[in-house]
Structure 1
Amino acid sequence: MTDQTSSSEAAQTPASRSRLALITGASSGIGQVFAHRLGAEGHNLIVVGRRRERLEELVAALPGVSVRPLVADLATDAGVQAVAEVCAAEELSLLVNNAGVAHYMPFTVLPADKASELLRVKVAAPTLLARAAVPGMVARGEGTIINVAGMVAFGGPAPAQGRAVYTGTLAHLVALSQQLHLELSPQGVQVQVLCPGVVATEFHERQGIDLSAMPRMSAGDVVTASLRGLMLGEVVCAPGAERTDLLEAVFGADLAAFHGQSPQLAQRYRMS
């Protein structure tokens, strides 16, 4: 189901009116904080979520901001198409691909429909929404895309039973964002992948996981890191990683492996 309505608009300058941000998963957690922070900075907002009542609460909480709620389920083709059409039609300054779902369970028992939902929400939706928004950004010579992933994206070799598909989707967002940065930055489009650790939101509660005893970062700190990271020119923003050299080592090793190949069969695969 999709629905787009208008909300109250405060008197704004022409410059602030020209700044339009679309945020998916805006009804709670990190997305909600992005909405409040960007609204306070002068952005008009299009907020996307599955729960109409939550979006209406967000509209009411931002009386001085132009907010358009868009009810859409990004786990469906219809939902992705509806939001993609808005991304293509509007002059977006900023796209925040934040919508998320987890479905932590062993791969052998993960239902196909839940695996599909994961892939749609965290792979297909951000890819297709960015694809819809980018031509306009390139034509205008400016724009920003933030893809919200997580530090689990770097946890492929780590023991984390029940997160194989989820980890894969976040790794996709990291690689996608890095490649989009290389392709689009010369054309004025900035791309960031935001990789927080465990965050104090409803995300895990909706999976039936109680992490209340675990130290967690606030959603506000995550958003602060993201916006500051944009100013610093970071492509990969890791809010809780004090040592950025560790991330640089990961990416350096990736490049070394990529450039370390040859057209010759590696010795270990040759018959003796």
Structure 2
Amino acid sequence: MSTALVTGASSGIGQAFAERLAADGHDLIVVGRRKDRLEALASSLPSVTVEVVVADLSTDEGIDAVAAVAADRSPAVLVNSAGVAHYGPMASLPAAKARELVGVKVVAPTMLTRAALPGMRDRGEGTIITVAGMLAFGGPAPASPLARAIYTGTLAHLVAWTQTLHGELAGTGVTVHVVCPGIVATEFHSVQGMDLSAVPRMSASDVVTGALAGIALGEVVSAPGLEDRTLLDAIFQADVAAFTAQSPTLATRYRS
């Protein structure tokens, strides 16, 4: 039986991924900070083997510990779903929270993926799924009262990173995918004291369904709540057009 390693499995989207992958027959390695919740999840999935790994992915020690597990166990599926809820103006967001956010959403997925890849490449198969969000495309949007520059930047990183990694892994049998949901009905916002109960929100289970369906469709980037896929395609086509149109000559508009 193949094994899936899921971070952020103690709640929300990570827990939904763990439950779905278990239902599909995968043994699990579930990672999170809250041992009691991970053990409760393990108890609720008696049909598969569930290994609990308690780790804080905002720290180098936590990342290194889980990376060692990923390298040693070589899971068939890696789900980078750990998240942290730190919104706030960049100038006033405490340094510790800014570092934690970058650690969980940038450093951890990078290092865990790096650790899992050799085994996947050797086998000629494997799947890496990373959870980002539609805010990855929100940089040019009008200013929001919810200051979240660092958070938005981490999600944009995950999209570009996954797209580039997809190119690097072409022909290896390893699939990489990033899922970009909008607002999801989890405790992500409530832990920040935000009440979004009146706002329409997608379920965590639907996010997982969208990601897995996107993989089956061959999508590298999926947006479960976006009906018109051509909107994403237009973004990516414009990205490539701008990248390939660059010149070593200073553009006319910048000449005095």
SS at match of 1:102: coil
Q: Distance in 1 between matches of 2:36 and 2:171?
A: 41
SS at match of 1:206: helix
Gap runs ≥5 in structure 2: none
Q: Distance in 2 between matches of 1:236 and 1:186?
A: 18
Residues 1:253 and 2:238 are matched in the alignment: yes
Moved over 3 A (4+): none
Residues 1:135 and 2:79 are matched in the alignment: no
What residue number does 1:64 align with? 47
Amino acid aligned to 1:252: Q
TM-score under structure 1 normalisation?
0.92
TM-score under structure 2 normalisation?
0.98
Which of 151, 167, 176 is matched with 1:166 structurally? 151
Aligned residue runs from structure 1 range 88-107, under 5 A: 88-107=71-90
What residue number does 1:121 align with? 104
What residue number does 2:219 align with? 234
Contact 1:204/1:211 (<8 A) preserved: yes
What residue number does 1:180 align with? 165
Structure 1, residues 77-116: CA drift from partner, whole Å, max 9, x if none?
1000000001111121000000001311111210111000
Aligned residue runs from structure 1 range 1-272, under 5 A: 17=1, 19-158=2-141, 159-160=143-144, 161-271=146-256
Q: Distance in 2 between matches of 1:37 and 1:142?
A: 20
Q: Distance in 2 between matches of 1:185 and 1:41?
A: 26
Q: Distance in 1 between matches of 2:212 and 2:179?
A: 10
Structure 1, residues 167-204: CA drift from partner, whole Å, max 9, x if none?
00000000000011111131111000010000000111
SS at match of 1:144: strand
Q: Distance in 1 between matches of 2:25 and 2:59?
A: 32
Amino acid aligned to 1:200: A
Amino acid aligned to 1:254: D
Alignment RMSD, CA only? 0.8
Amino acid aligned to 1:114: K
Q: Distance in 2 between matches of 1:103 and 1:114?
A: 7
Structure 1, residues 211-253: CA drift from partner, whole Å, max 9, x if none?
1110000011111111111111110010000000000000011
What residue number does 1:10 align with? none
